[in-house]
Amino acid sequence: MTLFERYSEIIPDFSSFQESLTKPFPVHIRINSLKTGPDEVIGFLEKRGIHLERSHVDDKTLYSMRGLCSPGNLIEYFLGHIHPQALTSCLPAIALSPENGSFVLDMCAAPGGKTSHLAQLMNNTGLIVANELYNSRHVPMGHTLARLGVMNSVITGYQAQEFPLRQSFDYVLADVPCTGEGRFRQIKQGFVYRETGKRERSYELQKKIILRGFDLLKDDGSMIYSTCTYNPEENESVVNYLLESRNAVLLPLEIGLHYEPGITRWGDERYEKQLENCARFYPHRIDSVGFFMAAIGRRR
């Protein structure tokens, strides 16, 4: 059976997409400017025969790593100078682009990579509420934030869809639980993507989370909704539900990187025209995890 054949009509150059799924993920790292700079890290690694290559995102802290598969074993990792993170996983923080001194909510924060990236972009100013429902994830996330020198974050344990409405935020990141199709690579013979049977539950939860995230925004605030899946029912359909339910508008995504636009039809479903402002990232276009993003604000 062809992998993800149900998406053959919406994924451009589908044969190249299929081929990309047979290749292993590249190793990407983010250099943590809260503790060091790119020149220092690059210099130390080069002396040990580890070469970094700038990503094609216009950001001086994002690199692919050649000659090493396990950056988590490096002293630079333990010092908090680098953090292994999929390239597309870095895009939500870049798209949100929080200003110094902002009040930010990361609704589904574990394992902490995006939270620490937000802190880095904010230069450890303001306050980030890193919310994660499962207590078992709080300690490892706290360790990640501490290792990376994050000092402007607090961890909370609410259900994202029921986060208290007592406070409004300048920025909200809703990187929601999803079916994770974009993380699949068929790198060994016999690897097959299997459905978990949780699709319908995912849709309903995602719709609740996006509504609550929007309701937590200040009037001039902005929000990023993201998943690591290809399924329109978890992506455009959820965002379209928000547009029908609230006075929301989709904002341009400014990330300095080419992406495929969101779709406006899927099967019998028809979505609003502005869904084209969403972004789809495919592994044959950008060699990383498959990803979806939408930037959201309040309609003026």
Instruction: Please give the Cα distance from 270 to 276 (Å, whole number).
Output: 12
For 283-293, b/e burial (b = at least 16 CB within 10 A) is bbbbbbbbbbb
Q: Which two tokens stand for residue 212?
A: 């609550």
Q: Give yes or no: 178 in active site.
A: no
CB atoms within 10 A of CB 263: 18
Instruction: Please give the Cα distance from 133 to 149 (Å, whole number).
Output: 23
Instruction: Please give the Cα distance from 169 to 58 (Å, whole number).
Output: 27
Instruction: Please give the Cα distance from 79 to 26 (Å, whole number).
Output: 23
45-54 long-range Cβ contacts below 8 angstroms, 24+ apart? 45/74, 45/76, 50/74
Annotated catalytic residue: which of 90, 108, 228, 278? 228
Q: Which two tokens stand for residue 20?
A: 């990309």
Give the number of residues written for the chain: 300
The one-letter amino acid code at 262 reads: G
Instruction: Please give the Cα distance from 281 to 90 (Å, whole number).
Output: 12
Which residues are tagged catalytic?
228
